[in-house]
Amino acid sequence: MAGSSGILIPLVAGIIGLGVLAQVLAARLRVPSIIFYLLVGVIIGQPGLKIIGDGTFGGALSAIVGLAVAIIVFEGAYHLRFDRLREAPAATFRLVTVGAAIALVGTAIAVKFAFNSAAVSWNLAFLIGALLVATGPTVITPILNVVPVRDRVAAALETEGIVNDVTAAIIAVVIFETVNPAASSEGLLRAFALRLGTGLLVGLIVAGIVYYLLQYVDLSPGDAPRNSRLLVLAGALIAYAGANTIATEAGVAAAATAGMALGNVDHPYEEDIEEFKGDITLLVLSFVFIALAAQLELASLIDVGLAGIIVVLAVALVIRPLLVFVSAVGDRFTTNEKLFVSFVGPRGIIPASVATLFAVELNAAAEEVTGAQAELLGTQADILLGTVFLVIFATALFEGGLARFIAEKLDVIPMRVIIVGGGQVGRALAARLEDRGENVVIIEQDEESVERARNEGYAVEIGDGTDTDMLRSAGAENAKTVVAATGDDDANLLVSQLASSKFGVERVIARANNPDNVEAFEDLGVRTISSAMATAWAIDNQIERPAIAHWMTDIGRSGDVQEVEVKNPDLIGKPISEVGPMLPDACLVALVSGELHDNAEVPTADYVLEEGDMVTLLGRRESVRDGMKMVSGD
C-alpha cells in the first residue's frame, strides 16, 4: 500500500496509539511489551490486514529506524552503571566475549546444516549468526521490569544486551560485505576495528560536549530541566548520525558509548533526563517494532519452514544454555539463576532492523543481475529475513511471555524488603539489610530524601507508601518484610495494615515515634518498635554489654548475628553436636526456635534440628554469611 502524506500522518498516529495501548496492556498483564508490538504489526501489516506495505513509508523507514535505534541504545546504555557491573564482573565479561563467540559460531553451524542448501553459504550462515548474537535492551529491560531478579543477574543480562547490540551490528555489517556482490570488500578485522573505533571515539566526544554544556544549563533555571532533556536527546542523535556518516553502523557503538559515559558521571537533572528518555524510548520502540513486523511477508516465514524451526530450537535450547553455563562458570550464580539466564535470550530491534535493511539491499542487488544469480540473491534475502524474524518472534513470545512464570518456578525472584520512609532511620536500616544481601526498596515522597537515598545507592520508588498501587509497584506482592519507618505514626499504621491485609506480607514492622501509640499498634497485631525504647536498648547495651555491642554494631564490625530457617536436608534430623562441626569456623549456633519464633532456647548438644526450625548463628561476619547459606541450603 503506497503511502501518501494524506494517509501517512493518521497512519503514524495510529501506530503510536496502538503502541501505547500495547504498552498499557503489557503492564497490566505483567509481560514484556514486545509481544504485543509484534502481534499488532503482524495484524495491520502484510501478514494480516495489509494496512502497511512495502511502500508505505517510502525510503524513509531505514532512516526512521536508525534514529530510533540511536535513542533506544543510548537510553539502555545510560542506565548501565559501572558499580552494578561489579556484581558479576567475570560472568559479564565472558558473556560478551566467549558467550558471544559461541552464539555466533553455534548459530552459523545450526543455520548451515538446518537448511542444507546451496543458497545458504557459510558467509550467509555467519551473517545470520552475527545478527542473532544480539539480545538488546529493547527486549531485556521489559522482562527485567516484570521479573525483579537479583542485581548480579540483571547486571549481566543488561550489559550483555548493550554490548552485544553494538558488536553484533558491526560484525553483521562487515560479514554482509562478503554476501552482497554490490558491497565493497575490505579486511574483516580492519573493517570491524574501524567501525568500533569510530563509534567509541565519536561517542566519547559527544558525551564530553553534552556534559560540558549541561553544566551551564542552570543559567536559565526556569527552562533548565527541559533544556537538559533536549540537549541529551540531541546528543544521542548526533552521536549516531555522526559516526554512521563516517562508517556504516558505527552509529550504534557511538550511541551506546555516549549513553554509558553520560550515565556514569554526575550531571544536573538526571531524574528529569531519565524519565524523559524513558518515555521517548517507549514511543519510538513501539513504532519501530510495529512498523518492522508489518513489513514482514508471511511467505518469508513459511519459506524457511522446518529448517527455520530447527534453528530456533538450536538457538534457544542448545546454544543459549551452553554459552551461559560456560560464561558463568566459577561465578556467584546459582544453578537456577544460570537456567533462568539461559532461558532469557530474546532477540530485539538490532537483528530486526539490520536484517530488514540487508534484505532490501540483496533484493536491490538481484534487480541488477539476471538468471541464477538474481534468483540466488532473492532466495538469500528471504532466508535471511525469515530466519531472523522467526527467531525474534519465537523467543519474544515464549521467552518474554513465560519469563516470570519460569522465574517463579526456578525461585530466582528474591523476596523484597520494603522500607516506607527514606529518612535517616530508613536509610540506616537499608544499609544494614543490603550489607547482608537483602533486596531492599525504599518508598519515599520527599524529593530531597529521594535524591539523598539514590545518591547513596539505594533503589527508591517515589510516591506515597500509604497508597496500595505504590506498594504494589515497589513489589509488595513479593515482599517478605515491610517496614513502616516514617516520622508519622498514622502513616506507619496505615502502611502496616495495607501490607498485612492487602498483600499478606509475612513480616510487618512499624516504627512508633510516640511511645503512647505502641499499645494501640500492637492491639492491631502490628509488630512495633518504639523510637524511645530502641534508644534505651542501645544505651543499655553500651552500658551492660559494651564488648558485644561494639562487635556487632560499629562501622567496620567484624561480628554478626543472623537468624535463618533450616532447609538443608543434610542438617535436618541431626543433633547440634554433629551440626556444629559442619558449620564454618568461627560460627556458632546461639539459639534455636520453632517456625513461629516461639520457645527460643540455647540448644544442648543433643537437640535435633527439624525442618522449619529457626537457627540463630553468631560469629564472624563472613563465617555467619557462609553458615546462613549452608543452613538454608542455598
Tell me the β-bridge partners of 416. Answer: 439, 479
Give me the phi and psi of 66, to 5 degrees please: -60, -50
Domain of 619 in residue numbering reads as 558-632
- Of residues 27 and 467, more confidence is placed in 467
pLDDT at 1: 45
Q: Provide the mean pLDDT of the chain.
A: 82
The yes-or-no verdict on residue 101 having pLDDT over 90 is yes
Please state whether 30 falls in left (phi above 0), alpha (psi between -120 and 50) or beta. left
For residues 223 and 265, membership in a common domain is answered with yes
For 590, phi then psi, to 5°, come to -90, -40
Closest Cα partner for 37 from 398, 278, 402, 397? 397
Residues 607 and 511 in one domain: no
| Domain assignment present for 294 | no
The helix/strand/coil state of 617 is: strand
Instruction: Report pLDDT digits (tens) over 298-336.
Output: 777 777 888 999 999 999 999 999 999 999 887 667 788
Is residue 495 domain-resident? yes
User: What pLDDT shows up at residue 520?
Assistant: 80
Query: Is the domain of 476 the same as that of 392?
Result: no
Query: How many angstroms separate the CA atoms of 18 and 16, rounded?
Result: 5
Claim to verify: residue 625 and residue 608 sit in the same structural domain: yes
Q: Are residues 359 and 383 in the same domain?
A: yes
- Spatial CB neighbours of 124, under 8 Å, sequence gap ≥ 6: 111, 179, 380, 383, 384
**Residue 551 to residues 433, 545, 557, 558, 620, Cα–Cα distance (Å):** 17, 10, 6, 6, 9
Is 546 domain-assigned?
no
507 and 616 share a domain?
no
How many whole angstroms separate alpha carbon 255 and alpha carbon 483?
41
Task: Give the domain-ending residue among 410, 435, 465.
Answer: 410
Q: Please, are residues 164 and 133 in contact by the beta-carbon 8 Å criterion? A: yes
Q: Is the pLDDT of residue 3 over 60?
A: no
One domain, residues 209 and 193: yes
| Centroid of chain to Cα 316 | 19
Are 401 and 517 members of one domain?
no
Residue 128 lies in a domain: yes
Please state, in angstroms and as integers, the Cα–Cα distance from residue 115 to each residue in 14, 305, 309, 316, 363, following that order: 39, 9, 10, 17, 20
> Judging by beta carbons within 10 Å of its beta carbon (0-12, 13-18, 19+), is residue 216 exposed, middle or buried?
exposed
Q: pLDDT band at residue 437, thresholds of 50, 70 and 90?
A: low
Query: CB neighbours of 56 closer than 8 A, spacing ≥ 6?
Result: 1, 2, 3, 8, 11, 294
DSSP letter assigned to residue 440: E
In a domain, 625, yes or no: yes
What's the domain count of the chain?
3
pLDDT band of residue 220 (cuts 50, 70, 90) is low
User: Considering the domain boundaries, does residue 349 fall inside one?
Assistant: yes
Read off the CATH number of the domain in which 98 is found.
1.20.1530
CATH number at residue 491: 3.40.50.720
Specify the CATH number for the domain of residue 574: 3.30.70.1450
- Do residues 421 and 406 both lie within one domain? no
pLDDT of residue 2: 44
| Amino acid symbol at 556 | G
Q: Residue 19's pLDDT band (boundaries 50, 70, 90)?
A: confident
Q: In this structure, are 254 and 341 located in the same domain?
A: yes
Position 631 pLDDT exceeds 50:
yes
Cβ atoms of 255 and 69 within 8 Å: the answer is yes
Do 422 and 397 sit in the same domain of this protein? no
Average pLDDT over residues 562-586: 88
Residue 225 placed within a domain: yes
Q: Are residues 168 and 255 in the same domain?
A: yes
Neighbours of 466 (CB within 10 A): 21
SS3 171: helix
User: Is residue 61 domain-resident?
Assistant: no
